[in-house]
């Protein structure tokens, strides 16, 4: 009986210790990608009637389909951070930020994020497949993406972009800001492609 009581007491102490440790664990921090491009009035003249641009669909790899932020380690290993998490679905957050960054660079009537209503008609559609989007241990942000630009007549351009931005190592907020800058860099490439496609087309006076 004495031995049984001692075992019970030991288990109770262990449970109390575990509960105390859990109570000291800080709650996770939540982050969102942010549009970093500043509107340029010279790039978007007020009298310009631009095209309707559809952003999406955007495909993300399965390893990013989770709330935890991902850090790439050497030899292909990935670390998931339970203390740093995304405040929203990462793919949807990425799409919104890309559309906002494009809007600051490109004269367009409006930008639509996939899925848009069937009654909507777009002049350009930007389809993307994200292959990699994460931080490394040294704070470098990486965006590796294949993107295709379509007009109503068909494919205009297919390109792969590999974009980097540096952050302060082990500072999550700095890392998220660096990831946001890679999205902005992608928007610059896409805006240039759409601009070239617009100049090569008949001026837009309306949409179907």
Share of the chain above pLDDT 90, in %: 62
Share of the chain above pLDDT 70, in %: 77
Mean pLDDT of 135-139: 93
Average pLDDT of the residues of the chain: 84
Q: What pLDDT does residue 70 have?
A: 93
Q: How far apart are the first and last CA of the chain?
A: 86
Beta pairing partners, 141: 135, 165
**pLDDT of 127 above 50:** yes
Q: Hey, what's the torsion of the CAs at 50, 54, 55, 59, to 10 degrees?
A: -160
Q: What pLDDT does residue 39 have?
A: 65
| 14 — pLDDT class (breaks 50, 70, 90) | low
Exposure string for 39-59, b = 16+ CB within 10 A, e = fewer: eeeeeeeeeeebbbbbbbebe
| 205 — pLDDT class (breaks 50, 70, 90) | very low
Query: Domain ranges in the chain?
Result: 51-199
| 49 — pLDDT class (breaks 50, 70, 90) | low
SS3 at position 164: strand
Q: Could you tell me which CATH number the domain at 51-199 has?
A: 3.40.50.10610
- 169-199, pLDDT tens digit by residue? 989 999 999 999 999 999 999 999 998 876 5
Q: What pLDDT does residue 124 have?
A: 94
- 56-107, pLDDT tens digit by residue? 999 999 999 999 999 999 888 999 988 999 999 999 999 999 999 999 998 8
């Amino acid at each position: 009986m004495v031995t049984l009581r001692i075992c019970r007491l030991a288990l109770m102490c262990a449970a109390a210790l575990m509960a105390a440790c859990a109570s000291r664990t800080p709650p996770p921090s939540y982050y969102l990608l942010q549009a970093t491009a500043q509107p340029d009035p010279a790039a978007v003249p007020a009298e310009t009637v631009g095209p309707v641009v559809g952003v999406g669909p955007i495909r993300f790899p399965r390893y990013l389909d989770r709330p935890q932020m991902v850090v790439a380690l050497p030899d292909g290993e990935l670390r998931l951070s339970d203390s740093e998490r995304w405040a929203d679905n990462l793919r949807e957050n990425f799409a919104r930020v890309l559309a906002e960054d494009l809007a600051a660079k490109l004269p367009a009537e409006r930008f639509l994020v996939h899925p848009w209503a069937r009654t909507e008609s777009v002049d350009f559609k930007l389809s993307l497949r994200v292959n990699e989007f994460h931080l490394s241990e040294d704070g470098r942000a990486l965006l590796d993406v294949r993107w295709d630009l379509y007009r109503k007549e068909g494919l205009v351009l297919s390109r792969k972009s590999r974009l980097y931005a540096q952050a302060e190592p082990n500072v999550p907020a700095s890392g998220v800001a660096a990831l946001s800058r890679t999205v902005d860099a992608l928007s610059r490439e896409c805006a240039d492609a759409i601009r070239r496609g617009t100049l090569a087309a008949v001026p837009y006076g309306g949409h179907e």
